[in-house]
Amino acid sequence: RHGWAGGADAPAAARRLFFCTPQTFENDLRLGVADGRRVVCVVMDEAHHAASAGYAYAKVAELLRCAGASCRIFALSATAGADLGAVQRVVRTLRICSLEARAEGDADLLAHTHCRAVRVVRVAATRSSAAA
């Protein structure tokens, strides 16, 4: 145990920034190793996973709420969701109050992306691939 919430001599006492998996953070919050009240900001990459109630991001958000945390959640995703319902589940689960979206053709992204060509090739299924 690394003692996020421990006394002044705990390894985390002198730290202000942690990188960890959402599963590790969930476990530390659940076990009381991390004090959710001391959390100021959480960055969630691949935040579209929060649409699944069983995924750690959803559990972390709920544990922080239960702890009385008043932290900001900065949620990032290149693939926000397959449909509007999936996006809405992420917004609701993480209690997102401000949303910004970009498409690959947006002017503010063009300077930071490379041109790419997409070619769709349709391949007929064979008997062996259809059985798999």
Whether 39 is covered by a domain: the verdict is yes
Whether 118 is covered by a domain: the verdict is no
Whether 70 is covered by a domain: the verdict is yes
List strand residue ranges (DSSP E) for the chain, in order. Answer: 41-44, 72-75
Whether 84 is covered by a domain: the verdict is yes
User: Mean pLDDT lowest for which of 14-28, 57-71, 85-99?
Assistant: 14-28
Pairing of strands 72-75, 41-44: parallel
Q: What domain range is 41 assigned to?
A: 11-103
Q: How many independent structural domains does the chain possess?
A: 1
Does pLDDT of 1 surpass 50?
Answer: no
Distance CA 106, CA 97 (A): 23
Whether 119 is covered by a domain: the verdict is no
Whether 75 is covered by a domain: the verdict is yes
For residue 76, give the CATH number of its domain.
3.40.50.300
- φ/ψ region of 44 (left if φ > 0, alpha if ψ in -120 to 50, else beta) reads beta
Whether 86 is covered by a domain: the verdict is yes
Whether 130 is covered by a domain: the verdict is no
pLDDT, tens digit, 9 for 90 and up, residues 82-122: 888 989 999 999 999 998 888 878 888 888 888 888 899 99
Q: Is the pTM of this model over 0.95?
A: no
